[in-house]
Structure 1
Amino acid sequence: DDSCSDCGAGKYSATGAPSCTDCVAGKFSSSVGATSESTCTICPQGSYTDIEASTSCTTCPAGSFNADDATSASLHVSCPVCTAGKINDDPATEPALHTSCEACPLGKKNDKEDTEYADHDHPDDCKSCSPGRYSNDEEGATMCLNCPLGKASSIGASACTGCPSGYECSGGTQTACDEGYYSNNETSCKICDAGFMCLGASDRRACPQGTSQPIEGQSECDSCSAGKFNAEEGKASCKECTPGHFCPPSSTTPISCLVGSTYQPEEGKDICLSCSVCPLGQVMTAECTLTTDRQCSPCTAP
């Protein structure tokens, strides 16, 4: 039979050729009766065909792309998997959506190699950076970086922030200072000094007048005990009440005994003593002062 028939789509032959030739993989042709290889067209961006004699190209699957703009059929036999740090979650709806892959958002990473479509085909393949780490690579992060010393971050952070007052930042995470400690944008909480109280906040507070704190790492100050006083703030101890004065608990200053009525010869007392009254038959030889009692002597005959 010397009759001729048209080559089907995906094939071509020159005039007089005994058989049709398939378009190579990576090319397609929808023409029937094609007489030249030029009718075999390279697949457009975002598509591929891995078989010969293709009549159309297939959109790249999710997790892949094809950026070649029809320069070589060999580049359209398959679609490369998205590289680490990138994804393509389009489910092969159209080639235009598969000319490239999208970078993972800031604060996330994708550390998978370009071997499996399933590692790059869903937004969940971009994993949020854990607390204490961050990513800010606009081209798509493949790893999260550790926050520098003295800074911290929350989950999915694109940057680290300074350690807030009242916290310590170690390993990129922030932890509130315990009572008895304080911090002012520090890498660690400091123990409260003697003479101060710390509520686990940003700063230490000086013990107020009438109080003291002799021990480090305390969250409250102690009132001066009876017989002691403190006229200054931030002191580790209270002072002994001076002679001629008395100091009730929490005193900020010694209180003077009443001249001519009371006295106190010793230090560290919380009361004044009543001045003696000379009994009948005795006369005063020395007045009652703030620190000494009244002195009396027997009367002498005239």
Structure 2
Amino acid sequence: KFSAAGNPDGCKFCVAGLIPKSDKSGCESCSGGEYSNPGDATCNDCGVGTYSSDGIKCIACDPGKFQTEEGQAECDLCANNFDTGGLGGFKTECVACVSPATRLNSPFEDKCGLCPDGMEDTNGGTGTRNCVACSAGKFFDSTVGVMSCQACAAGTVTTVEKQNSCDTCGAGTAPNSEKTSCDSCSAGKFAKSGDASCQNCLAGTYSGGGAIGCTNCEAGRYASNAGTGPECDKCEEGKVQSKEGKQECDACPGGTYMDIQGRQTCKACEPGQKSTLASASESCTDCTAG
């Protein structure tokens, strides 16, 4: 208790965090690392695993901090790659992070952890964590158990950095070599959704740009090679094709001809005219006399 000057009978208890002065004329504060309850005659040291910055009460160390001594005004930060299990409490020691998790010796990070999704630890889980965004074409997902950015799988891309998953390319497109964009298939090629690359149309078929499939050549046209586009070639003069999806045209037989490209049937020679057998004739000639 204490008594203010001029009031010897008015003794009062000091409140928490204060104790009577030596002459009992008033109260004085406890120092950092100490505490007092109402009515205490002396200040008490805070125990291990606790601290007091105001001299009023002791507080358990925050997560990521510890204290091995009594009477301390603050707790100490765990060293790099150590934490207190992610919990606060009466902590007197730190424990090592379990790889690949790490922890920075920083008041802003209280427990071991991995880089955020879309970022990788360029120090590989050793020493101070250094998180760097994955570039476009790559991703990082902390749940898959790897520590570095991974290339997108076949048929998928990331168009911007810092992604935790890749996007599937739609039909008619395929990833570029860096897997940073889905590019339209060129004429003569096609792709289904998720294909790793655009594929050539088969001979006898064709496609325009951005195709999801190939189309048979129309009658009167042909495609002798794979990867034809944006259209099939017309049959030359002297040749025709009556069917779809063909790789070549047929020569007009003897007695017939074709003088126009892209036709389906041959024309018969006029009476008194002829064409050479299987010569792909573009015209007929007059028969010789006799």
* TM-score range relative to shorter protein: 0.5 to 0.7
Provide the identity percentage: 20
- 1:190 aligned to which of 183, 189, 211: 183
- Pick closer, same or farther for the CA change 1:60–1:103 going to 2, 3 Å: same
- Pick closer, same or farther for the CA change 1:195–1:239 going to 2, 3 Å: same
Q: Secondary structure at the match of 1:134?
A: strand
Tell me whether 1:113 sits opposite 2:107 in the alignment: yes
8 Å Cα contact 2:83-2:94 kept in structure 1:
no
8 Å Cα contact 2:49-2:89 kept in structure 1:
no
Q: Secondary structure at the match of 2:65?
A: coil
Q: Counting helix residues as a fraction of each chain, which structure ranks higher?
A: 1
- 1:171 aligned to which of 138, 161, 173: 161
2:223 corresponding residue in structure 1: 230
- Deviation by residue 1:187-219 (Cα, 9 ceiling, x = unmatched): 222222222222242212122211223x32222
Tell me whether 1:202 sits opposite 2:203 in the alignment: no
Quick one: which amino acid aligns to residue 159 of structure 1? S
2:261 corresponding residue in structure 1: 267
- Pick closer, same or farther for the CA change 1:108–1:178 going to 2, 3 Å: farther
Report deviation, 1:82: 4.6
2:83, 2:198 → 1: CA distance? 50
2:154, 2:63 → 1: CA distance? 47
Between structure 1 and structure 2, the one with the greater Rg is 1
2:75 corresponding residue in structure 1: 79
Quick one: which amino acid aligns to residue 252 of structure 1? Q
- Deviation by residue 1:42-69 (Cα, 9 ceiling, x = unmatched): x8xx75687xxxxxxx996765323x6x
**TM-score, structure 2 normalization:** 0.60
8 Å Cα contact 2:101-2:112 kept in structure 1:
no
Unpaired segments ≥5 residues, structure 1: 1-23, 28-42, 51-57, 279-283
Report deviation, 1:269: 0.5
> Over aligned residue pairs, what C-alpha RMSD do you find?
4.3
Aligned length: 230
- Pick closer, same or farther for the CA change 1:61–1:133 going to 2, 3 Å: closer
1:107, 1:49 → 2: CA distance? 28
- Pick closer, same or farther for the CA change 1:60–1:202 going to 2, 3 Å: same
Q: Secondary structure at the match of 2:275?
A: coil
Q: Secondary structure at the match of 2:167?
A: strand
Quick one: which amino acid aligns to residue 119 of structure 2? R
Tell me whether 1:257 sits opposite 2:245 in the alignment: no
Report deviation, 1:249: 1.8
Quick one: which amino acid aligns to residue 282 of structure 2? T
**TM-score, structure 1 normalization:** 0.58
1:153, 1:245 → 2: CA distance? 59
- Pick closer, same or farther for the CA change 1:296–1:82 going to 2, 3 Å: same
1:152, 1:219 → 2: CA distance? 27
Report deviation, 1:227: 1.0
2:118 corresponding residue in structure 1: 132
- Pick closer, same or farther for the CA change 1:129–1:47 going to 2, 3 Å: closer
Unpaired segments ≥5 residues, structure 2: 1-30, 35-46, 53-58
1:88, 1:274 → 2: CA distance? 97
- Deviation by residue 1:159-185 (Cα, 9 ceiling, x = unmatched): 101233322223243211122221244
1:291 corresponding residue in structure 2: 282
1:153 corresponding residue in structure 2: 140
8 Å Cα contact 1:109-1:129 kept in structure 2:
no
